Amino acid sequence: MKVNKRNLMRSEFIGMDVEIQSLGCGNFCGAIVDESKNTLTIRKDSREITVPKSSSEFLFTYQGESVLIHGSEIQYRPEDRIKKIR
């Protein structure tokens, strides 16, 4: 299956590698360990960093492809995001 933005936004984010492009937190890479309606928690080295979705862009790498998603597009609870994005 080809990875596109819509399919990625409907999938589970926990465990995915992501590059954060955030106004408040700067740019860094890590793995997603938790998600809430307004934040993603990223593990970078041995630290966990909570990043707001609303003011960030996320470059997800999945199956060798990269997809850029604006945080406002995924600002739902994880269980609602999977249902609402069609």
Residue 35's pLDDT is 95
pTM of the model: 0.87
CATH number where 74 lies: 2.30.30.210
Show Cβ contacts of residue 72 under 8 Å, excluding neighbours closer than 6 positions.
53, 54
CA 86, CA 44: separation in Å to the nearest integer? 31
Domain assignment present for 41: yes
Measured CA to CA in angstroms, residue 69 lies from 45, 46, 47, 79 at distances of 23, 25, 23, 18
Let me know: does 37 contact 75? Beta carbons within 8 Å.
yes
Rounded average pLDDT per 10-residue block, the chain, 86 residues:
80 93 81 95 94 92 88 90 77
Q: Which domain holds residue 70?
A: 5-80
Which of 73, 67, 76, 28 minimizes the C-alpha distance to 51? 28
Q: What's the number of domains the chain is made of?
A: 1
